[in-house]
């Protein structure tokens, strides 16, 4: 492989590995050398699409396409994180999106794809769990305008969390 076609090194990953020390780098280099030998000898074949056990299978909402012609609406979402010893956290979000999948993608940026997948999500401002706790009357009026496409910004996302630990 010529220098022109070599992939660029990841500065971030290189820094992380360097911080682990020389012994860790030696182990990694030995592992990479062995992996190259296995490929050259034909003892292993590259993974087929969807076969790699180290690549998580995306949730369906992570790979859908947004229908650009669909109107943007306010979506609400909530999910709880209950962990023994660390307490209870409730996440509540509101955002402008064209569909539920787009809203989940927005939510996943802040709380991760596992929690976003488990969130209860609904279009509109109707009765929704925790909405009275997390949405003030003035915010509700603003969200209603956004939902009706009146003076809605190009994007909007609101996230709040409530955490309690009684241990």
How does residue 7 score in pLDDT terms, banded at 50, 70 and 90?
Answer: confident
Check pLDDT > 90 for residue 166.
no
pLDDT digits (tens, 9 = 90+) for 29-67: 999 999 999 999 999 988 888 788 888 889 999 999 999
Backbone angles phi, psi at 95, to 5 degrees: -160, 160
The β-bridge partners of 157 are 95
Q: Taking the complete model, does pTM exceed 0.75, yes or no?
A: no
Share of residues in the chain with pLDDT > 70 (%) = 97
Q: Is 120 a residue whose pLDDT tops 80?
A: yes
User: pLDDT digits over 87-108, tens only?
Assistant: 899 999 999 999 999 999 999 9
Per-residue pLDDT at 1: 52
pLDDT, position 3: 62
pLDDT reading at 12 higher than 60: yes
The 3-class secondary structure across the chain, one letter per residue, is CCCCCCCCCCHHHHHHHHHHCHHHHHHHHHHHHHHHHHHHCCCCCCCCCCCCCCCCCCCHHHHCCCCCCCCCEEEEEEEEEEECCCEEEEEEEEEEECCHHHHHHHHHHHHCHHHHHHCEEEECCCCCCCHHHHCCHHHHHHHHHHHCCCCCCCCCEEEEEEEECCC
């Amino acid at each position: 492989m010529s220098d022109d076609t070599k992939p660029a090194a990841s500065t971030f990953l290189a820094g992380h590995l360097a911080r682990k020390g020389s012994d860790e780098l030696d182990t990694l280099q030995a592992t990479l050398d062995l992996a190259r030998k296995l490929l050259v000898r034909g003892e292993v074949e590259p993974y087929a699409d969807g076969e790699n056990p180290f690549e998580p299978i995306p949730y369906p909402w992570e790979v859908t396409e947004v229908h650009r012609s669909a109107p943007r609406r306010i979506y609400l979402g909530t999910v709880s994180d209950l962990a023994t010893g660390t307490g209870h956290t409730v996440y509540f979000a509101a955002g402008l999106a064209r569909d539920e999948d787009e809203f989940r993608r927005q939510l996943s940026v802040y709380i991760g794809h596992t929690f976003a997948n488990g969130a209860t999500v609904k279009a509109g401002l109707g009765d929704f769990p925790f909405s009275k706790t997390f949405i003030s009357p003035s915010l509700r009026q603003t969200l209603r305008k956004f939902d009706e496409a009146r003076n809605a910004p190009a994007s909007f996302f609101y996230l709040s969390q409530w955490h309690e630990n009684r241990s």
